[in-house]
Chain A
Amino acid sequence: GNSVTQMEGPVTLSEEAFLTINCTYTATGYPSLFWYVQYPGEGLQLLLKATKADDKGSNKGFEATYRKETTSFHLEKGSVQVSDSAVYFCALKPSGGTSYGKLTFGQGTILTVHP
């Protein structure tokens, strides 16, 4: 079956530090890959996505590249801000089959950024 594995948190950084959150996946075919962010007390919001190999998704200074050869979709940001403190979820959606339309999420990584 499909699965997503994220690096364990929590991750604590100082403002302006570089961020990497690792994500690897297991799936057949060519799934679409996503990063969602959840701020305290809110639902999940789509942060960025990539739909095919070597695509780079980017938004709000965050980037992630779909690496088929390493089945990875690591999230990066060059300079984090206090407002980036949230929980980040990596997810995949299959391109077809019986699981079509279903998002499979990683366990989430808590990020805390200190001033």
Chain B
Amino acid sequence: DAGVIQSPRHEVTEMGQEVTLRCKPISGHNSLFWYRQTMMRGLELLIYFNNNVPIDDSGMPEDRFSAKMPNASFSTLKIQPSEPRDSAVYFCASSFQLATEQFFGPGTRLTVL
């Protein structure tokens, strides 16, 4: 069975460029979560969706970050413009419902030069 799919796995870009990270949740899962992992701040929840609707985006660091979920099988996290401090591993996770186990994707390692 396919797990959570994220693309790209690695992204290197220059400061000021737009970055789009993609996530395909497990089929049938209704909740989707975006996390960021850094050495300094650990694992942080950025935003999560339930039935394609954003429920809580209080973890989104600033207006440069935006996330969408146009349908049940696809979500994007966009950073525009990107900055070096955005360098991190970004994880997407999905769950059948909000209260059930979250399954994590392999992550996207973002480096902003």
Contacts and interface: CB of A to CB of B under 8 A. Distances in A.
A43 B4 contact: yes
Contact of A43 (B31, B50, B107): B107
A93 B31 CA distance: 14
Interface string B25-36: 000000101000
B42 A105 contact: yes
B91 A102 contact: no
Interface in B67-108: 91, 93, 98-99, 101-107
Q: How large is the interface on B (under 10, 10 to 19, 20 to 34, 35 or more residues)?
A: 20 to 34
* Chain B, interface SS category: strand
Contact of B105 (A43, A101, A104, A107): A43
Given A44-B91, A108-B43, A103 B102 contact: yes
B45 interface: yes
* Chain A, interface SS category: loop
A69 interface: no
A101 B91 contact: no
11 contacts: A43-B93, A43-B106, A44-B43, A45-B104, A49-B101, A89-B43, A98-B56, A100-B99, A101-B48, A102-B48, A108-B43
